[in-house]
Amino acid sequence: MATYLLGIGLCGILPAILGIIAIIAGLAGRRAIKKDPKNVTGDGIAIGGIVMGIISMVIGIGLTIVYIIYAVISVLVFGATIGLAILPLLPILLPLFWP
C-alpha cells in the first residue's frame, strides 16, 4: 500500500486530487504500521508518499492559480477571447472530459 501511494504522489495528472489521495493513503499506511509493526513495514515509504502528496497538491494548486490569473489577464487586459484564454488549461481540463 505504501509503495502505491508514493507513485500516486509522484504522478503528474491532476496533482492536487492525487496529492490528497496520497496523503490519505500514507496516513492509513502509517496507522496500519503502528497497529502491527511486526507484520507491516514501510514507514519510510509511507512518509515519502505523504511528503510527495503535499508537494504535488501545492504544485497543482499553484499551477491552477497561475492559469486562472493568466486567463483573467488575457481577457481583461489584452481582450482575448475566452477560448484563447483557456488554452493553457487544456492539459488539466482534457483528462476530466475525455472518454
pLDDT band at 96 (very low <50, low <70, confident <90, very high): low
**Greater pLDDT, 99 or 16:** 16
> Is the predicted pLDDT of residue 2 greater than 50, yes or no?
no
Q: Which residues of 32-55 are buried (b: 16+ CB within 10 A; e: fewer)?
A: bbeeeeeebebeebbebbbebbbe
Domain hosting residue 47, numbered range: 2-97
pTM: 0.65
Region 48-54: mean pLDDT is 93
> Is the predicted pLDDT of residue 28 greater than 90, yes or no?
yes
What is the count of structural domains for the chain? 1
Question: For residue 2, which of 38, 35, 48, 58 has the smallest C-alpha distance?
Answer: 48
What's residue 9's pLDDT?
Answer: 40
